[in-house]
Structures are given as structure tokens and as C-alpha cells.
Amino acid sequence: MNRKGILVVVSGFSGVGKGTLMKLLTERYGHYALSISATTRTPREGEVDGREYFFKSRDEFETLIAEDRLIEYAEYCGNYYGTPRDYVEDQMEQGRDVVLEIEIQGALKVKQKYPETLLLFVMPPDAETLASRLRGRGSETEDVIHSRLARAVQEAEGVEQYDYMIINDVLDESVEKLHYLIESQHYKINRNLDFIEQIRSEVRVFAKGE
Ligand code: 5GP
């Protein structure tokens, strides 16, 4: 069977718990590679350069753009965010499923470049949960929280272009759903045409009794 790596985009409202979901997914299953983005936003408390993000100045980021070293990039709430190309391509070649946790403009650019990309959207169980999770994070001012909630409303409009949604209510179940949605892509007929053809020709040999 074809185990070529799958490219997966996970998007969802700020504060919906994507980061925790990704962390658990990669801890639980060893074959996922989580892409680390470059950004011009300032690190939050506890974030480490090269772990959550590669933190860059605007000049450094614009050099990455000019040298075509990003698969996609977008501006979100006044900062640049982008996906480094080398890591994603290397990991997919090695057969790992690569997960990008990015926002919608970037997601749609990735889908254009790599049409087989699986687009997943993480939803909160309800709006109240989302707002209280954002406040609970404690690392952002009310202004930033409002700008993120406003952006969330905008993003909900593009969700029709995604393939599946996951309602992040019970974290443990969400991780399993995420894993099985990705896993199912490996079994798509159009990803396995070579394998199917091989079985067909082997069966033909049996049918002829050779
Ligand atoms: P945060 O500042 O909360 O870490 O991220 C803000 C938004 O930027 C999130 O929706 C996150 O998914 C998105 N994001 C993170 N990395 C990238 C990236 O490389 N490209 C794009 N387009 N969006 C990203």
C-alpha cells in the first residue's frame, strides 16, 4: 500500500485548543511531523524559538519570502506567519504525515499548490467556551482578544472550503477523530491505484491457473 506522506492543514478559531490537540496527536502517534512556522509576532511567555515558532524580525521574514523559502505566508492580526518549505517537503518524502497548524488564507494557498491536502477545521462546542478559553489563556490584552474573536467570525465564513470539522469538546476524543480522519486518507482509491493494479494483475494470474 502507498504510505506516501499526507499533507494536513488544521485551522480553527484562536483559543479553540489546536495547539494542545497537535501536541497530543504527535505524542500518541509517532509518524506525524508538525511543521514549525516562522512568525514576526513576539513570543508568549513560555514559548521557545525553534519549538513553537521561529521568531523573526519583519526584515528577516521578508527575506524568507523573497528567497521563496515559504510554502505559504499570510498576515494575521498585524503579524506575518509562514510555513518553511524544506521541512515539509523532506518529511513528506520520508513518508511522514505533515501537519500544518495555520489560518485560512494560508490553508487555501497550500490547497492550491498541493491539491491533495486534507483541510480540517477545529470548532469549539459553543461560542462561550471559546471566549472563556481565550480569556483563560491570560497572556493577551482585552484588545487582542477582541481582535482575535472578530477574526474568528471572519474565518468561519471560509470554512465551507474545508474537508472536515472536529468539535473540540472532549480532548481525548478529538485527538482520535483527528488521527482517524488523517489515517483514512491513506486508503483513498486514487492514492492506491498502483497497489490496486498490482493485485489485479496477480489475481489475473491465479484466474488463469498459472
Ligand atoms: P498564534 O499567534 O495564536 O500562535 O497564531 C495565530 C494564527 O496564525 C493561528 O490561526 C495559527 O494557526 C496561524 N498560523 C500559525 N502559523 C502559521 C503559518 O505558518 N501560516 C499561516 N498562514 N498561518 C499560521
Three-state SS at 175: helix
Residues 7-66: tens digit of each pLDDT: 999 999 888 999 899 999 999 999 999 999 999 999 999 999 999 999 999 999 999 999
CB 7 within 8 A of CB 92: yes
CA distance 31 to 34: 10
Does ligand 1 lie within 6 Å of residue 82's CB atom?
Answer: yes
CA distance 62 to 140: 26
Nearest to 18 by CA among 98, 96, 124: 124
Q: Which atom of ligand 1 is nearest to the CA of 105?
A: 22
- Closest-CA residue, ligand 1 atom 15, reads 102
CA distance 182 to 97: 8
Which pTM was predicted? 0.89
Does ligand 1 lie within 6 Å of residue 5's CB atom?
Answer: no
Does ligand 1 lie within 6 Å of residue 102's CB atom?
Answer: yes
Query: When comparing pLDDT for 176 and 76, which is higher?
Result: 176
What pLDDT is stored for residue 210 in this prediction? 65
Does ligand 1 lie within 6 Å of residue 83's CB atom?
Answer: yes
Residues 127-152: tens digit of each pLDDT: 888 888 888 777 678 888 888 788 77
